[in-house]
Every structure is written in structure tokens, then in C-alpha cells.
Amino acid sequence: MMPIDVGQLEGWVGSACWALARISGLLLVAPVLGATMIPARIRLGLALLLTMALGPLAPLDIRPLSAEGVATLAQQVLVGASLGFILKLIFEAVSFGGQLVSQAMSLGFAETVNPGVGGTTPVLSQFYTMLVTLLFLVMNGHLQLIALLADSFRSLPVSEQGIGTNGLWGVLEFASHLFGGAVRVALPALTATLVVNLGFGAISRSAPSMNLFAVGFPITICLGLLAVWLALRALPGAFDSLQTEAWDAMRQLVGRSSP
């Protein structure tokens, strides 16, 4: 039986550490796979399973206990967290769009506890988040995320340089999709509620004695729910467009050369 060299064993441990660091950074931030509602044991088991599968893609020539190894470990966590953060922005954009719709239709007070954010969010916002989570799984987004993570070890090899300042700036530039995506998701329902409010304004001008607060509140909610129901047809297309932009940004991030 051939003896195992200590340096070779250290290289194997190092390659597993680099893969585990990048995967752990991704699962700490990414939605669905790294959601806080998933038990920690399941997330840990998923991280170890992915490490066993993707560990051979990491290099074997970096010593994990050296200064270079510590810097490399920090960079790998940053790379994984950046990938997960870009995808999380898409889900937060949809959630923010749900908040805009709920406020426009006077349902902003209807909140429930959201363990994902550690606070309360409007019910309509959580409803939108649940829908896009199911769409993400139906569109095999979790498989695309794992495939992109595996490709990142080839396009962005493990090193102490990592994504660099250019990559971090690209992540910040993509953060603008949080507001643009929210408007894209909420625009159909917001337009319908705006038309309803304009109609109430015209009625208040023609009949000032009418108590529009007592009449307009239930009408706004009923018509707002109808507008949300009709606008749900456009939600898959808007989410798919946002998801495509996120995949492109993530590929550019791991393919971007460090300065």
C-alpha cells in the first residue's frame, strides 16, 4: 500500500477548505438553498455534499495554514457571498414590489412575521415571495446555481486575489435592480390602483358631501385584489427577466479578471 505524503494530504485538505469556503459563503446569503427556514443541519449537510462533489475542482498547491491560505479562504467566502447576494437581490426586488402594491391598495397594515428577515413584512409581499420561490424551483434555478458554482472554479480559479474591486463594483451596480425590478413587478397593479384613486378624486370633486373614506376603502381593497389577480399573469415573465439578468451578472462576476 502506497504511503500518503503529508504535503499531498495537506493539499487535499486545502482543496476541500477552498471549496467549502466558497460554498458556505453562497449558502449564507443565497435564497431558497440558504434560507433561514431550512434547518442548520440540512444546510450543513448540503454544504458538505457539494464540497465532496466540487472539491476536486479546487487547486492542491496552496497551503491552508499559511498567510496565503488565510487570504485565499477569505476571498472564497467573499466570492460565494457575492454570487448569493446577486440572486438574493432578485427575490428582494419581488418582495419590495409586493410592499409597493400592498401600500397602494391600503393593505400595508396587514403584516405577518417573516423568519427570513427576522421581522414583519406585509402579507402580500410574502405571497409574492412564495410564488417566485416556487417559480425558481420549477425553472430549475437551484440546479443552475449549482452549475454556475461549479463553473466558477474554472472561470475564477481559487487564489488570494479573488473577485477584486472590479467584481465588487459590479455587485454594487447590480443592486440598482432592486428598485427597478420592484417597479417592474408592481407596475400593473400600481397602474390599476392609480386609476381607481383618480376616479375617487373625480367623484370627490363632483360630490364633496360624499364620505369617500367609508366607501373608498373597501372599494380600493376589492379592486386592488382584482388587479393583483390579473397582474399575476405577468409575474412569471418579470421574474424570468430579472433572473436572466442575475445569471448574466453572476457569470460576469466570476469571469471578471482582478486588477
Mean pLDDT of 33-48: 83
Instruction: State which H helix or E strand residue 113 sits in.
Output: strand 111-114
Query: What is residue 120's three-state secondary structure?
Result: strand
Is the pLDDT score of 86 beyond 50?
A: yes
pLDDT digits (tens, 9 = 90+) for 176-234: 888 888 888 888 888 888 887 787 777 777 766 666 666 667 777 788 788 888 888 88
Q: What is the 3-state secondary structure (H, E, C) of 152-205?
A: HHHHCCCCCCCCHHHHHHHHHHHCCHHHHHHHHHHHHHHHHHHHHHHHHHHHHH
Is the pLDDT score of 61 beyond 80?
A: no
Instruction: State which H helix or E strand residue 121 sits in.
Output: strand 119-122
Mean pLDDT of 134-146: 90
Is the pLDDT score of 16 beyond 80?
A: no
pTM: 0.81
pLDDT at 45: 87
Q: What is the DSSP letter of 105?
A: T
pLDDT digits (tens, 9 = 90+) for 26-38: 888 888 887 777 8
Q: Residue 71: how many CB atoms within 10 A of its CB?
A: 15
Domain boundaries, the chain: 6-255
Instruction: Estimate to the nearest angstrom the gap between the alpha carbon of 6 and the chain centroid.
Output: 41
Contacts of 85 (CB under 8 A, 6+ apart): 29, 171
